[in-house]
Structure 1
Amino acid sequence: MHGSTSTTRSTTGSARRAAAAGAAVALAAGMLVALGSPAAHAAAGASLPFTPVEAESAATTGTKIGPDYTQGTLASEASGRQAVRLAAGQRVEFTVPRAANAVNVSYSVPDGQSGTLDVYVNGTRLAQTLPVTSKYSYVDTGWITGSRTHHFYDNSRLLLGRDVQAGDKVALVATNVQVTVDVADFEQVAQAAPQPAGSVSVTAKGADPSGQGDSTQAFRDAIAAAQGGVVWIPPGDYRLTSSLNGVQNVTLQGAGDWYSVVHTSRFIDQSNSSGNVHIKDFAVIGEVTERVDSNPDNFVNGSLGPNSSVSGMWIQHLKCGFWLMGNNDNLVVENNRILDTTADGLNLNGNARGVRVRGNFLRNQGDDSLAMWSLNAPDTGSSFENNTVSQPNLANGIAIYGGTDITVRGNLVSDTNALGSGIAISNQKFLDPFSPLAGTITVDGNTLVRAGAMNPNWNHPMGALRVDSYDSAINATVNITGTTITDSPYSAFEFVSGGGHGYPVKGVTVDGATVRNTGTVVVQAEAQGAAVFRDVTATSVGAAGVYDCPYPSGSGSFTLTDGGGNSGWPGTWEDCSTWPQPGQGNPDPDPNRNLAKGRPATATGSQDVYTPGKAVDGDGSSYWESANNAFPQSWTVDLGSGQAVRRLVLKLPPSAAWGARTQTITVLGSTDGSNYSTVVGARDYRFDPATGNTATVALPDGTNLRWLRLSVSANTGWPAGQFSEVEAYLTP
């Protein structure tokens, strides 16, 4: 499921509909300059049975492509945003990183073509070849706004028939078709497991392990006979022509996911079950070549029932791995591989309580790789933990759409594309009835690599980690802790109301994060609301610390509170009319611009509608007026970053109705928002309508401040401090 609205959505989301732009940021407790370090966390991601090796790091006679982050290109969908293109006769040669007897290859061939790769081990060509095809690639989803043809890659696996050792060479040679090789997974596959005692074998019920005959009824008969026990799927290939249903109180077990293979595009399709279903240790490989949301072309569609589990599975070439509705309480989904789905890898579609999804590997999804969508009822007390997600090529790596007390912990997400972030925490509802985010949302210890993408519907990017009040305000407690964000092409953290309604994002704390080499900004703040940042360190920031632009304009500010320990990301992007490009840096500012105009302003008090912001709104006829008869009173503006201010212009309304008066004013400045020092001592400044009711204050050379404060201790014309405009300039 990904960012968008759909009125006909049955299993996965349509495209994100609205442009979003920004939110004004006020750093309430000082500039982000202090040192700090995130809390220590265990390595993120799943413990994998294989070791991947990128083709671009291997020896090759082919052509390296990428890196590229442009939607709709081969390089942008590749792991690491790079790959190797082989013409006929060209090779890529991998150095094996560990003992192995099998390889799985992520590759792409031109649309409409198929062929083979020859495989060489230490220079000797194997008799078996690796098949490659475009059959499952080049998916079009024209009903999803902003999508293009995508899903270029596929996976093909091969048992080598021999053991290879660390340091050996395995080469892939293109023979009869151009092949772009992305990554090779090397694995030591254990021997096939033996049949469990007392189990019911599907072959005893007539299943055909050659894959020629239809084994559907044999599977159904074995399930019926094994109630409370185990259905055994021996090594072989089994073809099912229709889905299984009525599956409950049974274990379906194979000899291993490289040996026992079920070929079907709809494995289990049932709306309810009494539960205690356990599925493990075999492969389900489908024939889904397009995405039809009304079709249940899924490994599991509906419900396995309470207290069920799925583990050790290889799931490939389906629409969704899991589309889970109904009662799936306490379900555990762990240590599976989900590859090449045209839509979601797994989606908890409402009413999931106590579900644990952990230790899984997902690659090349055509929508959200892992999602919780609280349709009809809230997903509650459920978690995504220690999963590895690679190359979701249309939407988010991990998405939480509503729900109560949800946890996203210890995951590794890389190379998101087009319409998604690495992790999205969102109130996008898609359909009603929807349960918005509630309780505590825990996002802890996750690592995001090259995550975030240019959203074609917005014409600006999504951050690596996004909090989105798309269809309603976020009022949950959102704790984002121990995050590592590396090589994000655009921003690291984004706060947005993506539906364009300006709903607030509240209750967010970002505590302990390391941001390295982010392309544009650390914080992309675009919605009203607030967040606390603490111990967030950044290095190699492409443009500025903060993107500070409310959307819709005037919809309210986003207060970014410095909790201490932050470093490496000062400064705000200056020009809200343009989105910063990676590595661009701030445009050269106009040295004659008024630094105070439109900036957040506060005061010790005000009268009626004469609020502090009236003194920086660019309207000379409106004004701030302090509390009456209570000198001294002060007015303060946050300029957004440290500035070498040389001159102030103080104004009252030019109307002759404003009689001449003298105000006694002290100018103070601060770089941290807490400690102020005197810049210009108390002086009398004359305001006379005959000369425009204007006073100019020269500041001494060497003045540097971010917060400018004017303290008024007397006024001969009215018993209060008054300014219609306060202007600050870099020029004398």
Structure 2
Amino acid sequence: MQTSVRSMPSAASAAMVVALSAGLLTAITPTAHAAPGASLPFTSVEAESATTTGTKIGPDYTQGTLASEASGRQAVRLTSGQRVEFTVPRAANAVNLAYSVPDGQSGSLDVYVNGTKLARTLAVTSKYSYIDTSWIPGAKQHHFFDNARLLLGQNVQAGDKVAFQATGTQVTVDVADFEQVAAAATQPAGSVSVTSKGADPSGNGDSTQAFRDAISAAQGGVVWIPPGDYKVTSALSGVQNVTLQGAGSWHTVVHTSRFIDQSGSSGGVHIKDFAVIGEVTERVDSNPDNFVNGALGPGSSVSGMWLQHLKVGLWLMGNNDNLVVENNRFLDTTADGLNLNGNARGVRVRNNFLRNQGDDALAMWSLYAPDTNSSFENNTISQPNLANGIAIYGGTDIAVKNNLVSDTNALGSGIAISNQKFLDPFSPLAGTITVDGNTLVRTGAMNPNWNHPMGALRVDSYDSAINATVNITNTTVTDSPYSALEFVSGGGQGYPVRNVTVDGATVRNTGTVVVQAEAQGAATFRNVTATSVGSAGVYNCPYPASSGTFTLTDGGGNSGWSSTWSDCSAWPQPGQGNPDPDPTRNLAKGRPATATGSQDVYTPGKAVDGDANSYWESTNNAFPQSWTVDLGSSAAVRRLVLKLPPSAAWGARTQTVTVLGSADGSAWSTVVGATGYRFDPATGNTATVTLPSGTNLRYLRLSVSANTGWPAGQFSEVEAYLS
């Protein structure tokens, strides 16, 4: 799903270079909060970290450029005769290569192992690339890369060299996956082989009816698909109470763009261990060009599959209760990898690898009924080139845990938690939404519709208020080109984002800000640490401007992001310093103020209205009295300026003031002990208070215990500065 148009303040075009992580994407064993992502059977090596006679391109984050869709935002361009040589990281006998060739071209790469040219070559083509989706606002031509795999015909060891050389067609090489492919599995006892029903493993004949006959014959048992290539020309339906099993995804290949298409099933369908490779070359949303379209039924599973060149891997509707989707590869889909399209209950999607999706890689969309008690866990997602890595559109009690998402582009975040409905009837977010242990690398993008950035992790009250409990815990955001955490009402209606807690986040090298707050509402932040922040800690500018403020509650343990972007008329650009840590900006001006009491019309807000002639006056004859202001976010305040009206009618006086600070408005500490401050109209009726170095506070409180000129606390302006 994509985010549609809304009007936002304009920003300068984004151009930046972000420090990139090059090298290996290794097989990861999932453990809680230690190793996010899938446990992979292969190890990936980036072309830009290999040896090459070609030209490295990138890094680039500009929508519509080749490098912006590459893993790591870098790749290597080869012209005829040029090569890229990889050092093999582990024992392997197969390789899968992500590459791009110019539109309309095809060709091959010569392959060398330790300097010796192999007889087999690797075919490359633009056939499945260069997708246009003109009906999607903000979408440019995209989906530039493709994947091609090759069994090397020999074993190579760690440290060996595998090279690819262009032979006439320009080829841009992105990343190579090296894998040790096991031998083909053997037929399970008692299973029904599709070849016994007439299937053609050469791929020449049409095996559709043979598959149907084998499924009918094997009810309650296993349909065996031996090694080979099988052509299926129309979708299977009525699939229930059966296992479809291949000899391994490198050995058994079914060629079809529509494998199963059925609106319902009694369930018990288990599909495993083969490849389904389609011929989808464009995205037509009305066509069910999907591996599975509809329902597998309750208690079903999909595992060990290689799904490629389809519109969507699994577009799931109807009853799929307790479905498990695990250990699969989703490559080069023109739309989503997987979408739970309403009414999914107890579904577990885990330990899958997804690369080069043309929409959300993994999505739950609560259309017609809520997706409930379902989860995306320990998945690795790379290069969704139009929308989000993971998107939750509505639903009840949903979990997104221990996933690794990298390199989103154009219209998406790494993870989106959203009430964008697209269609009705829609079930908004409800219950508890758990977002835990995820790592987001180079995620977030410049949205061409909004003309401003989308954060690595986005909470979006797009079409309705977020009232669910959203717990975002143990998150790592690395090299986000723009912001780390975004809270927004993307439809421009100003719906609030409520009940959000961010607890335990590590943000490294974010291009602009740590928190991008653009909606009314509130969130509590605990143990959020940031280093190398590009512009400022917080951008807090609700849209529309009149929709209300977003309250950031400092729950303690936060560091590295106390500053606030000062200019709501312009979006911060990557690496652009805040135009305002200058002493002329008063952090307190216009902020919400309260007091223990006030006299007549001399209310607390008079001390932050920017008018030195209006003033707050506390209840008379009732010391001590206190006045408090919420600065909106934690700030390293260094200086206070306290004022009384400058009129000579205000005689000189001394007020005894204690300065207190708080992160959450409930637990207070003394910043400056009780001190007498002299206010004299001859010198402007102004007193300056210097706060100690290291002071960070969101809530500022002035407690007045005495006043030699009047039996009350009095301030016409309280100003707070960073220096």
In the alignment, structure 1 residue 341 sits paired with structure 2 residue 333: yes
Q: Which of the residues 159, 184, 188 maps onto 2:180?
A: 188
CA distance in 2, matches of 1:612, 1:500: 32
In the alignment, structure 1 residue 310 sits paired with structure 2 residue 302: yes
Per the alignment, do residues 567 and 196 of structure 1 end up closer, same or farther by CA in structure 2, a change over 3 Å counting?
same
- With 703-712 and 489-498 compared, the bigger mean Cα shift is at 703-712
Matched position secondary structure for 1:222: helix
CA distance in 2, matches of 1:671, 1:527: 26
- With 249-258 and 542-551 compared, the bigger mean Cα shift is at 542-551
Give the equivalent residue in structure 1 for 2:24: none
Matched position secondary structure for 1:524: strand
In the alignment, structure 1 residue 642 sits paired with structure 2 residue 631: no
Per the alignment, do residues 517 and 593 of structure 1 end up closer, same or farther by CA in structure 2, a change over 3 Å counting?
closer
Q: How many percent of aligned residue pairs carry the same amino acid?
A: 80
Letter aligned with residue 152 of structure 1: F
CA distance in 2, matches of 1:560, 1:609: 30
In the alignment, structure 1 residue 532 sits paired with structure 2 residue 524: yes
Give the equivalent residue in structure 1 for 2:2: 2
Matches within 5 A, 1:177-216: 177-216=169-208
Give the equivalent residue in structure 1 for 2:248: 256
Show CA shifts across 1:680-713 (max 9, x none).
Answer: 84568589xxx9xx96222156766655544456
CA distance in 2, matches of 1:478, 1:729: 33
Matches within 5 A, 1:145-544: 145-544=137-536
Per the alignment, do residues 386 and 728 of structure 1 end up closer, same or farther by CA in structure 2, a change over 3 Å counting?
closer
Q: Which of the residues 678, 696, 699 maps onto 2:688?
A: 699
Given that residues 360 and 388 in structure 2 are in contact (C-alpha distance below 8 angstroms), is that contact kept between their aligned partners in structure 1? Answer: yes
Q: Report the Cα offset of residue 511 of structure 1.
A: 1.6
In the alignment, structure 1 residue 669 sits paired with structure 2 residue 663: no
Show CA shifts across 1:201-223 (max 9, x none).
Answer: 11221212121222111111111
CA distance in 2, matches of 1:607, 1:435: 49
Per the alignment, do residues 85 and 533 of structure 1 end up closer, same or farther by CA in structure 2, a change over 3 Å counting?
same
Matched position secondary structure for 1:424: strand
Matched position secondary structure for 1:284: strand
Q: Which of the residues 142, 146, 154 maps onto 2:134?
A: 142
CA distance in 2, matches of 1:578, 1:20: 7
Show CA shifts across 1:322-374 (max 9, x none).
Answer: 11010000000000000000110000010000000001000000010001111
CA distance in 1, matches of 2:9, 2:497: 14
Give the equivalent residue in structure 2 for 1:29: none
Per the alignment, do residues 624 and 95 of structure 1 end up closer, same or farther by CA in structure 2, a change over 3 Å counting?
same
Letter aligned with residue 156 of structure 1: A
Per the alignment, do residues 320 and 611 of structure 1 end up closer, same or farther by CA in structure 2, a change over 3 Å counting?
farther
CA distance in 1, matches of 2:43, 2:720: 58
- With 160-169 and 720-729 compared, the bigger mean Cα shift is at 720-729
CA distance in 2, matches of 1:621, 1:700: 21
Matched position secondary structure for 1:231: strand
Matched position secondary structure for 2:607: helix
- With 64-73 and 713-722 compared, the bigger mean Cα shift is at 713-722
- With 524-533 and 621-630 compared, the bigger mean Cα shift is at 621-630
CA distance in 2, matches of 1:502, 1:666: 43
TM-score by length of 1: 0.89
Given that residues 86 and 179 in structure 1 are in contact (C-alpha distance below 8 angstroms), is that contact kept between their aligned partners in structure 2? Answer: yes
CA distance in 1, matches of 2:46, 2:367: 39
Per the alignment, do residues 240 and 447 of structure 1 end up closer, same or farther by CA in structure 2, a change over 3 Å counting?
same
Let me know the Cα RMSD of the aligned residues: 2.8
Letter aligned with residue 536 of structure 1: V
Unaligned residue ranges in structure 1 (runs of 5+): 5-15, 23-38
Letter aligned with residue 659 of structure 2: G
CA distance in 2, matches of 1:373, 1:55: 36
- With 429-438 and 383-392 compared, the bigger mean Cα shift is at 429-438
Matches within 5 A, 1:646-661: 647-651=641-645
Per the alignment, do residues 86 and 500 of structure 1 end up closer, same or farther by CA in structure 2, a change over 3 Å counting?
same
Per the alignment, do residues 606 and 353 of structure 1 end up closer, same or farther by CA in structure 2, a change over 3 Å counting?
farther
TM-score by length of 2: 0.90
Given that residues 100 and 163 in structure 1 are in contact (C-alpha distance below 8 angstroms), is that contact kept between their aligned partners in structure 2? Answer: yes
Q: Report the Cα offset of residue 402 of structure 1.
A: 0.9
Q: Report the Cα offset of residue 664 of structure 1.
A: 6.8
Show CA shifts across 1:170-216 (max 9, x none).
Answer: 10000120000000001111111111112111122121212122211
Unaligned residue ranges in structure 2 (runs of 5+): 12-30
Per the alignment, do residues 301 and 612 of structure 1 end up closer, same or farther by CA in structure 2, a change over 3 Å counting?
farther
Per the alignment, do residues 258 and 638 of structure 1 end up closer, same or farther by CA in structure 2, a change over 3 Å counting?
same
Q: Report the Cα offset of residue 72 of structure 1.
A: 1.0
Show CA shifts across 1:90-112 (max 9, x none).
Answer: 00001111111111000001111
Give the equivalent residue in structure 2 for 1:11: none
Q: State the number of aligned residues.
A: 695
- With 139-148 and 531-540 compared, the bigger mean Cα shift is at 531-540
Q: Report the Cα offset of residue 716 of structure 1.
A: 11
Given that residues 443 and 456 in structure 2 are in contact (C-alpha distance below 8 angstroms), is that contact kept between their aligned partners in structure 1? Answer: yes
CA distance in 2, matches of 1:686, 1:41: 59
CA distance in 2, matches of 1:590, 1:247: 68
Q: Report the Cα offset of residue 607 of structure 1.
A: 7.7
Q: RCO (CA 8 Å, sep 6+): is it higher in 1 or 2?
A: 1
Letter aligned with residue 332 of structure 2: D
Matches within 5 A, 1:110-125: 110-125=102-117
Per the alignment, do residues 681 and 179 of structure 1 end up closer, same or farther by CA in structure 2, a change over 3 Å counting?
same
Letter aligned with residue 254 of structure 2: V
Q: Report the Cα offset of residue 722 of structure 1.
A: 6.2
Show CA shifts across 1:429-453 (max 9, x none).
Answer: 1111111111111111111111111
Matched position secondary structure for 1:554: helix
Give the equivalent residue in structure 2 for 1:8: none
Give the equivalent residue in structure 1 for 2:16: none
Q: Report the Cα offset of residue 522 of structure 1.
A: 1.6
Q: Report the Cα offset of residue 608 of structure 1.
A: 9.3
Show CA shifts across 1:134-193 (max 9, x none).
Answer: 111111111111111111000001111111111111100001200000000011111111
Given that residues 648 and 729 in structure 1 are in contact (C-alpha distance below 8 angstroms), is that contact kept between their aligned partners in structure 2? Answer: no
CA distance in 1, matches of 2:454, 2:131: 22
CA distance in 2, matches of 1:448, 1:42: 14
Per the alignment, do residues 589 and 570 of structure 1 end up closer, same or farther by CA in structure 2, a change over 3 Å counting?
closer
Given that residues 102 and 170 in structure 2 are in contact (C-alpha distance below 8 angstroms), is that contact kept between their aligned partners in structure 1? Answer: yes
Matched position secondary structure for 2:135: coil
Given that residues 117 and 130 in structure 1 are in contact (C-alpha distance below 8 angstroms), is that contact kept between their aligned partners in structure 2? Answer: yes
Matched position secondary structure for 2:209: helix
Show CA shifts across 1:502-548 (max 9, x none).
Answer: 22222222222222221222221222222222222222222222222
Given that residues 465 and 492 in structure 1 are in contact (C-alpha distance below 8 angstroms), is that contact kept between their aligned partners in structure 2? Answer: yes
Per the alignment, do residues 627 and 356 of structure 1 end up closer, same or farther by CA in structure 2, a change over 3 Å counting?
farther
Per the alignment, do residues 199 and 708 of structure 1 end up closer, same or farther by CA in structure 2, a change over 3 Å counting?
closer
Matched position secondary structure for 1:273: coil
CA distance in 1, matches of 2:243, 2:579: 63
CA distance in 1, matches of 2:286, 2:202: 31
CA distance in 2, matches of 1:318, 1:222: 24
